[in-house]
Amino acid sequence: MGEMSIVGPRPEVPKYVGLWPKEDRRIVLSVRPGMTDFASLRLFDEESYMARFKDPEEAYIREILPFKLGLYRDYVRNRNLGLDIQIFLATLTKSIRTLAKI
């Protein structure tokens, strides 16, 4: 497995990467994958959201995947140290708040 960054588009299951439009694959895969990103923050409880659908995989492909791809493209086009720090701090804050609720 290749190296990961702290911030960057989260790795995706190859089956779903194969569904991405070619241009999205070119853009998103041009950077190292990361452990956190805006999609991780916005979809922090993705499993609960998907559980509401009769066919969660279809919902993932139809709704969540295009949403994630938009956030991934935006990140790649606008990435810089300040953005990475913003995403990292937001992830840290969200994680602490989630742990505090347990």
Is the predicted pLDDT of residue 94 greater than 60, yes or no? yes
Q: What is the pLDDT of residue 50?
A: 86
Can you give the length of the chain in residues? Answer: 102
Output the six-digit token pair for 34: 């990361």
Is the predicted pLDDT of residue 102 greater than 80, yes or no? no
- Looking at every residue in the chain, the average pLDDT score rounds to 93
Q: What is the pLDDT of residue 70?
A: 97
CA-to-CA distance for 6 and 32, rounded, in angstroms? 9
Q: 87-95: long-range contacts at Cβ-Cβ below 8 A with a sequence spacing of 24 or more? A: 87/7, 87/36, 87/37, 87/38, 87/41, 88/6, 88/7, 88/36, 90/41, 91/36, 91/40, 91/41, 94/41, 94/44
CA-to-CA distance for 89 and 49, rounded, in angstroms? 24
DSSP codes, 14-45: HHHHTTS-HHHHHHHTTS--EEE-HHHHHTTT
pLDDT tens-digit series, residues 17-66: 999 999 999 999 999 999 999 999 999 888 888 889 999 999 999 999 99
Q: What is the pTM of this model?
A: 0.86
pLDDT tens-digit series, residues 66-87: 999 999 999 999 999 999 999 9
Q: What is the pLDDT of residue 101?
A: 83
pLDDT level of residue 1 (50, 70, 90 thresholds): low
